[in-house]
Amino acid sequence: MNTIGNILRLTSFGESHGPAIGGVLDGMPAGISIDLDALQHFVDRRRTGQAVGSSSRDEKDRVEVLSGIMQGKTLGTPIGFIVRNSDAHSEDYDDMARCHRPNHADYTWQAKYGIRDYRGGGRASARETVARVVAGGIALQAIESLGITVASRLVQVGDVTQEKQFEQIISSAAHEGDTLGGIIECVIHGVPSGLGEPVFGKLHAQLAAAMMSIPSVHGFEYGDGFDMASKRGSEVMDPFVKRDDGTIGTMTNHSGGIQGGISNGEDIIMHIAFKPVPTLMREVSTVDIDGNLVMLHPRGRHDVCVLTRALPIVEAMAAMVVLDNYLIKRTNVL
């Protein structure tokens, strides 16, 4: 389960404190122009130290493309890449080797495998997502050549929805040794109608699976989402109209660009909810691997709020799902 996609497939590898994080992106068509400088800029958006409450771990995140791209063009062969880890402080986690950190994957990974990499959470760490951003950044350039764009923004941090107050509430949480979650909105514009695979490969289901695979994500909705449950059908109807250019569209977009699991040509609008970061910089009660009650004194460098750094991760996952479904559609009809 380290691979996502059907025709366009990403397999990622690496642990938080290992030598590198990397991936193999297979199924990318040949001849796609890839601007490696623009790709690096996209990956840089995920780096630490660029927002209030960000981890102080100073990884440069330089992308090293090993195969599949030559002279700025994809070759149609697997695109291999790595991002080296250069600022891991593994000793910060020595005290956590025998403890189960609350709300982390420590206990569940130990229960599943009988062994875990406690250094920064190993593969369960959000450090793994840098591979997604590299692969998604390549996919993003490919779909942009088709006129499809992906954009995301923060719409809520904690219980605050006013953007000008986001930094203040994050700073307050950091001062108290606490953390925050929130909500990201992602809009995919220019998606042609007809993408998505019924019955078990619906486009919104694929997008939900991609978003829910991101560390700390606890909720997903598209269109009017959960608000639909309290409305009448007449209130959320999306009447069809003929546009000036002769194409068919809808007057409203309560459906969020997807109907029957297939894109209808309108903007795909999603909301992704992130839980608060589980590591609190304060003493917490937990148990060790033998079940004995212990007090944990967390060390290390951790985010207070991951939302700003998560924006390119969300965009990357969206781009890979859309491109994968675009390629699938090309196999459905002659």
CB-neighbour burial class of residue 29 (10 A; exposed 0-12, middle 13-18, buried 19+): middle
Band of the pLDDT at 289, cuts 50, 70, 90? confident
The pair phi, psi for residue 295, each rounded to 5°, is -105, 125
Q: Which domain holds residue 118?
A: 3-332
- For 128: left if phi > 0, alpha if psi spans -120 to 50, otherwise beta; the answer is alpha
Query: Looking at the 3D structure of the chain, how many domains does it have?
Result: 1
How distant is the alpha carbon of residue 280 from its chain centre? 22
Prediction pTM value:
0.93
Q: 52-111: per-residue pLDDT in tens? A: 766 666 678 999 999 999 999 999 999 999 999 986 666 667 677 788 888 888 889 888
Q: 303-313: per-residue pLDDT in tens? A: 899 999 999 99
CATH number at residue 250: 3.60.150.10
